[in-house]
Amino acid sequence: MPSLADLHALKPLQQPTYPDAGAVDTAVAKLRTMPPLVFAGECDDLKAKMAAVSRGEAFLLQGGDCAETFDGVTADNVRNKLRVLLQMAVVLTYAGSMPVVKLGRLAGQYAKPRSSDMETRDGVTLPAYRGDAVNGFDFTPESRIPDPQRLLDVYNASAATLNLVRAFVTGGYADLRQVHTWNTDFVKTSPAGQRYEVLAGEIDKAMAFMSAIGADPEELRRVDFYSSHEALLMEYEHAMTRIDSRTEQPYNVSGHFVWIGERTRQLDGAHVEYFRHLRNPIGVKLGPSATADDALALAHKLNPQNEAGRLTFITRFGAGKIRDGLPGLVEKVTAEGVSVAWVCDPMHGNTFESSTGYKTRRFDDVVDEVQGFFDVHRALGTVPGGILVEMTGDDVTECIGGGEEIDEEGLAHRYESVVDPRLNRVQSLELAFLVAEMLRK
């Protein structure tokens, strides 16, 4: 594993400029003493599940906020998000007749790459907000100064989130019967849900059948749930990378799965250099500028042994580009015998600014990109492995459309995201039902 200084010598992109180097060293030294948030063995389990995803024997559901906030670490917020993810997973499991790998985009998703270093509002220019891991969202000069103490806050917030998630998923909250009841309520009580009555009715029958025969396996009561985030900040990620005593291999123990963003995936860059040493399952975002040769070079560098489950390509082309852009990548990568899980991020290629001044996405574009992803893989005989969505369990108004028909004016009603717009509770459930229909065909 390269040292932090080695990585800095490669000039990592998208890093904060801290005013006080001594304070950074102190924070990093403290972080290095903190216990792991996840265990290497759990990362290996997830890697085996991602191998199943790459073979088409499981489907990945990855979801959570674009950017978590420290204020957002409340029992209500975490529970609502988890609940919707579990609800989505049940629908997908039934429709796909295969296991759904549940991967939260949470407990560590606090650092954001930005397209511009500065932000201007009403003639005032300040450093851009880079996530709660770096600086404050408030638009004041003090709040926008990068503060390394925040790296320790990320650790603590992630630990609290993960603790709650682990308690929920093993303590009865994830009981399949309970989750199914929530889905039935959604279908019954929300106009958006009524379209999905048939599918929900089928699941109902399957549940009634199991109950009639007295089937009550442990699997009904608990689920495996994993955490993930974009490993962006070298200080934090390096300090949270440890040598596993069993295997003597380096693992990032701040999350089970970590990924490289679209802006930091340069082949000779610091992020790729750092990631290639990790033993976690990892992802790389691929946008429309990625060529098939880029993808191949990344795969060879990040997964030289071609280990199944190790590498996931998360494509984010945009609804208008995926049908033309994706086939070339998938064809060449497949022809070379490269083992990879293909996952669709239908969010980041579909962002625009509304006439009312909000960063938003259209629900229909999100659905269309996932449909395009399925179409491309079905045509090539390859595997559409899963989806990555930015979502929340709350009834926010950040994306346009869906059954509630949120329009540009409606965005102002409850827009809370500090970075990218998220699907709200109803939009997330609708998406799950729509993807379920795609999985079945």
Q: Which residues bind ligand PEP (CB under 6 A)?
A: 66, 113, 261-263, 285, 316, 348, 420
Q: Out of 4, 37, 61, 66, which residue is the one contacting Mn ion (CB under 5 A)?
A: 66
Distances (CA, A) of 258 to 5, 370, 437: 21, 22, 29
261 binds, among Mn ion, ligand PEP, none (CB under 5 to 8 A by kind): ligand PEP
Of 39 and 70, CB closest to ligand PEP: 70
285 binds, among Mn ion, ligand PEP, none (CB under 5 to 8 A by kind): ligand PEP
Of 44 and 368, CB closest to ligand PEP: 368
Q: Is the dihedral of CA 355, 105, 11, 262 positive or negative?
A: negative
**Chain position whose Cβ is nearest to ligand PEP:** 261
Give the shortest CB-347-to-ligand PEP separation in angstroms. 7
262 binds, among ligand PEP, Mn ion, none (CB under 5 to 8 A by kind): ligand PEP
Q: Phi then psi for 423, rounded to 5 degrees?
A: -65, 140
Of 348 and 425, CB closest to ligand PEP: 348
Pick out residues in 80-139 that bind Mn ion (CB under 5 A). none
Of 112 and 180, CB closest to ligand PEP: 112
Of 113 and 403, CB closest to ligand PEP: 113
Of 349 and 402, CB closest to ligand PEP: 349
In three-state secondary structure terms, 161 is helix
Dig out the tokens for 241 from the structure.
């990378």
Closest CA to 118 of 130, 100, 106, 109: 130
Stretch that binds Mn ion, among 278-286, 364-372, 391-399, 418-426 (CB under 5 A): 418-426
391 binds, among Mn ion, ligand PEP, none (CB under 5 to 8 A by kind): none
In three-state secondary structure terms, 94 is helix
Phi-psi region of 56 (alpha: psi -120 to 50; beta: other; left: phi over 0): left
Give the shortest CB-340-to-ligand PEP separation in angstroms. 17
Give the shortest CB-263-to-ligand PEP separation in angstroms. 6
How many residues touch Mn ion (CB under 5 A)? 2
Q: Any contact of residue 68 with Mn ion (CB under 5 A)?
A: no
Instruction: Give CA 75 to chain center in angstroms.
Output: 20
Rounded to 10 degrees, the C-alpha dihedral 283/285/291/296 comes to -10
Residues in CB range of 401: below 8 A, 6 or more apart: 362, 363, 364, 427
CB-CB contact of 102 with 428 (8 Å): no
Q: Phi then psi for 144, rounded to 5 degrees?
A: -85, 0
316 binds, among Mn ion, ligand PEP, none (CB under 5 to 8 A by kind): ligand PEP
Residues in CB range of 408: below 8 A, 6 or more apart: 354, 355, 356, 358, 360, 400
323 binds, among Mn ion, ligand PEP, none (CB under 5 to 8 A by kind): none
Of 263 and 359, CB closest to ligand PEP: 263
113 binds, among Mn ion, ligand PEP, none (CB under 5 to 8 A by kind): ligand PEP
Number of other residues whose CB lies within 10 A of the CB of residue 64: 28
Q: Out of 68, 235, 420, 430, which residue is the one contacting Mn ion (CB under 5 A)?
A: 420
Q: Specify the DSSP element, H or E, that contains 125.
A: strand 124-127
154 binds, among Mn ion, ligand PEP, none (CB under 5 to 8 A by kind): none
Q: Please state, in angstroms and rounded to a whole number, the distance separating the CA atoms of residues 143 and 136.
A: 5
Closest CA to 68 of 15, 104, 28: 104
AA letter at 358:
Y
Of 94 and 313, CB closest to ligand PEP: 313
CB-CB contact of 283 with 262 (8 Å): no
Of 115 and 125, CB closest to ligand PEP: 115
Give the shortest CB-316-to-ligand PEP separation in angstroms. 5
The alpha-helical segments, DSSP class H, found in 278-362 are 292-302, 322-335
Dig out the tokens for 315 from the structure.
């494509």
Give the shortest CB-134-to-ligand PEP separation in angstroms. 14
Which residues contribute to the site for Mn ion (CB under 5 A)? Answer: 66, 420
